[in-house]
């Protein structure tokens, strides 16, 4: 006999958790009004439904092997749809959080403008992520349709995010895709990739690794500096790197003990138009994907591997296993990386 539930929502919640646990050995999935919580054999994590949304919740990615967590505000966190250029001419007519200030330590001197918003992480407030449970993975899919637009532009671009956690892996795969409502010469999506680094004088990390620059000691981030002052990546024809890896080696702030690397790896380097790694009270690791001509109805995006690694050599090995993809699809039968978003 089926058990009786006094609340339909409770029945749905229990059914979802039971399905995930039964179909995915090694994962326990629970869900409430604010979060999806997943406990795995290699990683634990949460995805927020309310508040600061998109990606993986700040501090929740837990490496079972070492006990370390991510050190920022979340992983693969999503902002606005943007393009190069100034919004000075119509800034007084921009709705919501679309005015974008530059020529400062936060955003540097490169002129950019928000085309559609709001900023998803801080202003969307509510998302409706869906859990998909397979035989050897757990996945989360979520999306948002932008509601604000700059003068002369249309609101309605759709952002979609697919996140897949393979059983037993210390990393996950993720992909962001935008189906645009606008035509643009260089539309891009701004994300935090892998995520920012909260620290106090470098206590939470020992160094940063950027595949296009090399290793950077934590001491380089002792004072604030603008994104375009140093360590800035901009895509140039004929100079796209073999790999796009942005990582930091964690450190226990209390003991100083070295931890694993936390890396964000964009699997098609050519998808990245710009990448920041600068200090603004924390190490800010913003990455912009797209930045090429699109017409209304077109899609663009990128796929990533994000997680914990013991060495740069291990990062390179995993990167090369999945390299060359920009999209990620998933259903209960399985998941697959794709060449197009």
Task: Please check whether residue 178 lies inside any domain of the structure.
Answer: yes
The per-residue pLDDT for range 25-57, each reduced to its tens digit, is 679 999 999 999 999 999 999 999 999 999 999
CA 156, chain centre distance (Å): 21
Task: Please check whether residue 185 lies inside any domain of the structure.
Answer: yes
Mean pLDDT of 95-106: 96
d(CA 39, CA 170): 12
Residue 9 has pLDDT above 90, yes or no: no
> 293-297: long-range contacts (C-beta < 8 A, 24 or more apart)?
293/184, 293/185, 293/186, 294/180, 294/182, 294/183, 294/184, 294/187, 295/180, 295/183, 296/154, 296/180, 296/181, 296/182, 296/183, 297/179, 297/180
The per-residue pLDDT for range 259-312, each reduced to its tens digit, is 999 999 999 999 999 999 999 999 999 999 999 999 999 999 999 999 999 999
By residue count, the chain amounts to 341
- Asked whether the whole model's pTM tops 0.95, one would answer no
Residue 325: partners with Cβ closer than 8 Å, 6 or more residues away: 267, 268, 303, 337, 338, 339
Task: Please check whether residue 1 lies inside any domain of the structure.
Answer: no
d(CA 264, CA 209): 10
Task: Please check whether residue 332 lies inside any domain of the structure.
Answer: no
The confidence score (pLDDT) of residue 18 equals: 40
Range of the domain at 300: 9-326
The confidence score (pLDDT) of residue 24 equals: 64
Task: Please check whether residue 251 lies inside any domain of the structure.
Answer: yes
| Bond from prior residue into 194 cis (ω within 30 degrees of 0) | yes
Residue 23 has pLDDT above 60, yes or no: no
Task: Please check whether residue 107 lies inside any domain of the structure.
Answer: yes
Task: Please check whether residue 336 lies inside any domain of the structure.
Answer: no
Task: Please check whether residue 3 lies inside any domain of the structure.
Answer: no
Q: What is the CATH number of the domain that holds 65?
A: 2.70.98
- Count of structural domains within the chain: 1
């Amino acid at each position: 006999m089926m058990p009786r539930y006094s609340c339909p929502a409770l029945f749905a919640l229990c059914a979802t958790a039971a399905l995930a646990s039964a179909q995915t050995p090694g994962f326990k999935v629970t869900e409430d009004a604010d979060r999806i919580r997943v406990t795995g054999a290699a990683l634990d994590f949460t995805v927020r439904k309310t508040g600061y949304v998109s990606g993986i919740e700040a501090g929740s990615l837990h490496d079972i092997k070492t006990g370390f967590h991510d050190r920022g505000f979340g992983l693969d966190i999503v902002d606005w749809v943007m393009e190069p250029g100034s919004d000075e001419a119509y800034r007084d007519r921009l709705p919501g959080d679309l005015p974008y200030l530059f020529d400062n330590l936060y955003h540097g001197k490169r002129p950019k403008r928000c085309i559609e918003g709001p900023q998803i992480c801080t202003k969307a407030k509510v998302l409706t992520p869906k859990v998909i449970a397979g035989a050897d993975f757990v996945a989360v899919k979520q999306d948002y349709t932008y509601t604000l637009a700059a003068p002369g532009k249309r609101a309605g671009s759709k952002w979609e995010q697919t996140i897949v956690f393979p059983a037993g892996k210390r990393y996950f795969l993720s992909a962001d895709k935008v189906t645009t409502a606008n035509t643009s010469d260089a539309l891009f999506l701004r994300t935090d990739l892998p995520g920012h680094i909260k620290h106090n004088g470098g206590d939470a990390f020992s160094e940063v690794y950027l595949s296009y620059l090399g290793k950077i000691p934590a001491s380089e981030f002792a004072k604030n500096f603008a994104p375009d002052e140093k360590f800035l990546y901009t895509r140039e024809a004929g100079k796209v790197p073999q790999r796009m890896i942005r990582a930091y080696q964690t450190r226990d702030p209390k003991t100083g003990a070295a931890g694993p690397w936390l890396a964000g790896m964009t699997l098609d380097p050519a998808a990245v138009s710009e990448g920041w790694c600068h200090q603004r009270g924390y190490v800010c690791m913003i990455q912009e994907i797209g930045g090429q001509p699109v017409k209304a109805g077109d899609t663009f995006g990128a796929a990533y591997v994000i997680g914990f690694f013991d060495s740069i050599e291990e990062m390179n090995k995993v990167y090369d296993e999945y390299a060359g993809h920009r999209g990620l699809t998933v259903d209960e039968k399985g998941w697959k990386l794709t060449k197009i978003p």
